[in-house]
Structure 1
Amino acid sequence: MNPQPSEKIKKVTRELNDELLREQLHLNDETVYQPMPHSDSASRPTWRIRLELAFNTAQSIGLDVNGEVVMGRGEVGPDIVPLFDAEDADHLGVSRRHAALRPTKDKLYIVDLNSTNGTKLNGHSIGVNTPYSISNGDLLTLGRLDVICKIVERPKVSGKVFKADDDLIDILPEVACRIISQLSRNDIMKQAMECILNFTEASEASIWLVDEQTGDLYLEAGMGTDDLQVKRLPVTDTLPGHVIATGKPLRANRERNGERVKVKTGYLVEAVVYVPLTLGGVTFGVLSAVHHEPGKLFAQREEKLMSAIAEFSAVAIQNARLYQTANSGMNYRTKVLTALNYALSYDMKNKANAIVGYTGMLAADPSLDVDIRDTAQQAAMEGDKMFRLIERLIEITALGDDSSTRHKPCDLVDAVKRAIHDSRHKAETKSVLMALQVMGDPYVIQGDYARLYRSTLNLLDNAIKYSPEGGQVGVDVLFWDNELAVRVRDAGPGIPDEDLPYLFDRYFRSQQSADGEMGIGFGLEIVRAAVEAHRGTVVARNIEGGGAEFVVKLPATLRVV
Structure 2
Amino acid sequence: MPRVLLLPPASSLRAALAPLAQHDIELAAAAEPGTCQLVLADLAGQPAAALGTLGAPQGLPVLVVSSAPPAPAHGCWVVGWLPADAAPAELCGAVRAAVGACAARGDDDPALLLQQAASVAQKKDEFISHIAHDLKNPMASIKGYADLMRRRSAKLEEDPNRKGLEIISTQVSRMTMLLDQLLDFSRISLDRMILDSRPIDLVALAQRLVEDLQATSKRHTLQLVAPPHPVVVLADETRIRHLLDALLQNAMQFSPQQGTIVISVASDGGAAVVRVVDRGIGIPPADLPHIFEPFYRASNVEESRPGAGVGLFVAQHVAQRHQGQIMVESVVGEGSTFTVCLPLAPEGDVAS
State the TM-score, normalizing by the size of structure 2: 0.49
More helix by share: 2
Bigger radius of gyration: 1
Structure with the largest fraction of strand: 1
